[in-house]
Amino acid sequence: MPLKARRLKTPDWWYKREAKGAPLTRYALAPLAWIWEAVTITRFLTAKPYRSPVCVISVGNATLGGSGKTPIERELLRRLKKLGHRASGLSRGYGGSLSGPVRVDPTLHSAAEVGDEALMLARDYDMVIARDRAEGLRLIEGEGFEIAIADDAHQNVKIAKDIHLLVVDGDTTNDGWPFGDGSVFPMGPMREPLAIALKRADIVVLWLPHEKSVVDQKLLRLFGDLPVFVARLIPMPVGEPGKVVGFAGIAKPWKFRATLEGLGYAVADFHAYADHEPLSEADLTALERQAQTRGASLITTEKDWIKLSPAWREKIAFLPITARFDDQAGFMGALTALMPGTQISQN
């Protein structure tokens, strides 16, 4: 009983090492890819970014979605808060109706207003959303913060960044490759050519599933002399894994299913939706009925769970994901070396 998505889902062939899928579609999309790349380059050449007195750390990627930025941002905010620094996240509030700037209050705001990722992080940390990132930074300045963690800002030309963290999906199993064949959207997943994205990067954060111990050396060589730090995405299941019907509206929903199965969940069925896609009451009711028919419970990602009403949150479980760096001290030390004026403890 698949439920149809109303938004376009990520093509499977985007993330293959070679251009193996949908050749006719790819050729037809080539002119649009050239236009996208030209517009992106022009935006950077003509930009006049706002320079904030606050230290701005960009957490971004070179691809469209699915790079694991949110767990990395959460870990960075956690670490900075633990060390006594006043840090706030800064998000566009994708998928939300409010243009901002506004400081997110999880007791007042909904995902429909401020976006799912911003609301999720605001449960534990300070968050500001603003379509105009410069206005968001001004609000952060006025609130007395010393550090801003700018979400998805690697290609944002409105604000100047002090540190660029480029987050990369390091899972290359099953012929997967984080940059596909290198094609720019819509031919492939790239927001811009990788070489250009790497020129602005200061640090590469390569995330891996918790069970994967070996880093692909071919992938590492792409980053040249840039410092690379490995972060593990660690699922934190509550209780014993059981029989479930899973669903996810993220860029790479198949990875959520693989995580569930790897943890020992018996996945009776799974529904993949487009990234950030909201589900209607009818969708959720259909999922609930299917789970009841299968003798299973419902489970989703935290990002999808945060979009649910309080009543549905009571009925549906989510799988928490946390990020931890293999070399925490080294990563914090690299940040300290790049940070103007603000010293961060390496512990």
Annotated binding-site residues read: 63-70
Helix, strand or coil, per DSSP, at residue 135: helix
Q: Kindly list the distances between the CA atom of residue 21 and the CA atoms of 116, 180, 254, in Å, as whole numbers in the listed order.
A: 31, 11, 17
Q: Number of C-alpha atoms within 13 angstroms, CB side, residue 248?
A: 23
Task: Give the residue carrying structure tokens 């093509």.
Answer: 11
Decide if 143 contacts 153 (C-beta within 8 A).
no
User: How many Å apart are CA 319 and CA 248, to the nearest integer?
Assistant: 11
How buried is residue 151: exposed, middle or buried, by Cβ count under 10 Å (0-12/13-18/19+)?
A: buried
Q: Assess contact for 207 and 170: CB atoms under 8 A.
A: yes
Q: What pairing do the DSSP bridges indicate for beta strands 163-169 and 203-209?
A: parallel
Please give the annotated binding residues for ATP, written as ranges: 63-70
CA nearest 119: which of 325, 278, 285? Answer: 278
Rounded Cα distance between 279 and 29, Å, is 29
Residue 171, C-beta contacts closer than 8 angstroms, at least 6 positions apart: 178, 208, 209, 212, 255
Sign of the torsion formed by the C-alpha atoms of 179, 181, 186 and 191: positive
Measured distance CA(245)–CA(161) in Å, rounded: 42
CA distance 193 to 260: 33
